[in-house]
């Protein structure tokens, strides 16, 4: 309706940015998430499609005008969305050629959004495995570092989160405290590169753990493992901390294997 030039008789076939089209025959663009901007929605939609594999690496994407038409937004909005995906190295572009999907290796996999898209894509089981294995590499060492270098303030935060976990009455509440616990440890590790990594891991797991329902018995056991980690850090025992984390991860592996 707003594209002035190519308003031919052909069916427009605009895709909604969200699966909830408005019933009325009114304005077509009102079907996007309220509170999010158009360019963000478009970036989300295109990014998800790329990660999902709709456009394999090397493939040329539809041009900007085409995207504008399919989403019924302006070319400016499309361009801003594409720039966001460029910033994540999901695609590049050149005049006359168009935009193409970059090879997987150049993707910024360690990015919140890309990770989220990945976590909802078909091959999320292998992804979950990668994340969990990644934790085995990172977390024992990070926790050992935390045991060596934590300040008293950082320790207080870790302990508080641990206590909060034990006192949690609902699952989301517990998950939140759990996340806080692990992030506090990474912060205490004193390596600024570990913090963003932890954020990513936690966010990925949050996406993937919604399915896992734990039993009360299981929760009690996990709580004990967490407390062992807290204690090791508190007593400045790096080796004990490392081992405690390994036990916790082994427990998580088991839980995952059961699903």
Partner DNA sequence: TCATATGATTTGTAGGACAATTGTTGACTC
Partner DNA sequence: GAGTCAACAATTGTCCTACAAATCATATGA
CA 204 → CA 39, 42, 123, 128, 182, distances in Å?
A: 24, 22, 14, 8, 14
Q: Contact between 107 and its own copies (CB under 8 A)?
A: yes
- The span of 5-13, 111-119, 166-174, 222-230 binding its own copies (CB under 8 A) equals 111-119
Distance CA 188, CA 154 (A): 6
Distance CA 38, CA 159 (A): 42
In the DSSP assignment, the letter for residue 103 is P
Q: Contact between 84 and its own copies (CB under 8 A)?
A: yes
User: CB within 8 A of 15, min separation 6: which ones?
Assistant: 70, 71
Please, which of residues 51-80 interact with DNA by CB under 7 A? 61, 63-65, 72-77, 79-80
How many other C-beta atoms can be found within 10 angstroms of the C-beta atom of residue 105? 8
Give me the least distance between CB of 91 and DNA, in Å please: 10
Give me the least distance between CB of 108 and its own copies, in Å please: 6
What's the residue count for the chain?
Answer: 259
Give me the least distance between CB of 242 and DNA, in Å please: 44
Q: Contact between 2 and DNA (CB under 7 A)?
A: yes
- The span of 93-101, 143-151, 158-166, 173-181 binding DNA (CB under 7 A) equals 93-101
- Enumerate binding residues for its own copies (CB under 8 A): 39, 43, 76, 79-81, 83-89, 105, 107-113, 127, 130-131, 133-134, 136-138, 141-142, 145, 191-197, 199-200
């Amino acid at each position: 309706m707003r594209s002035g030039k190519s308003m031919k008789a052909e069916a427009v076939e605009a895709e909604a940015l969200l699966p909830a089209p408005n019933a009325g025959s009114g304005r077509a663009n009102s079907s996007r998430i309220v509170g999010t901007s158009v360019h963000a929605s478009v970036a989300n939609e295109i990014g998800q499609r790329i990660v999902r594999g709709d456009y394999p690496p090397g493939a040329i994407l539809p041009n900007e005008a085409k995207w504008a038409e399919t989403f019924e937004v302006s070319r400016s909005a499309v361009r801003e969305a594409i720039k966001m995906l460029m910033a994540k190295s999901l695609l590049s572009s050149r005049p006359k050629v168009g935009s193409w999907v970059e090879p997987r290796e150049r993707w910024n996999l360690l990015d919140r959004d890309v990770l989220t898209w990945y976590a909802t894509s078909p091959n999320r089981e292998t992804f979950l495995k990668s994340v969990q294995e990644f934790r085995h590499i990172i977390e024992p060492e990070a926790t050992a570092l935390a045991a060596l270098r934590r300040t008293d303030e950082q320790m207080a935060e870790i302990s508080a989160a641990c206590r909060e976990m034990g006192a949690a009455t609902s699952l989301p509440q517990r998950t939140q405290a759990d996340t806080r616990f692990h992030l506090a440890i990474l912060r205490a590790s004193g390596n600024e590169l570990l913090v963003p990594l932890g954020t990513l891991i936690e966010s990925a797991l949050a996406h993937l753990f919604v399915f896992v329902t734990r039993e009360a018995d299981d929760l009690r056991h996990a709580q004990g493992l967490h407390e062992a980690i807290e204690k090791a850090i508190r007593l400045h025992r790096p080796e004990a901390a490392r081992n405690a984390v390994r036990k916790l991860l082994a427990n998580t592996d088991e839980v995952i294997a059961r699903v």
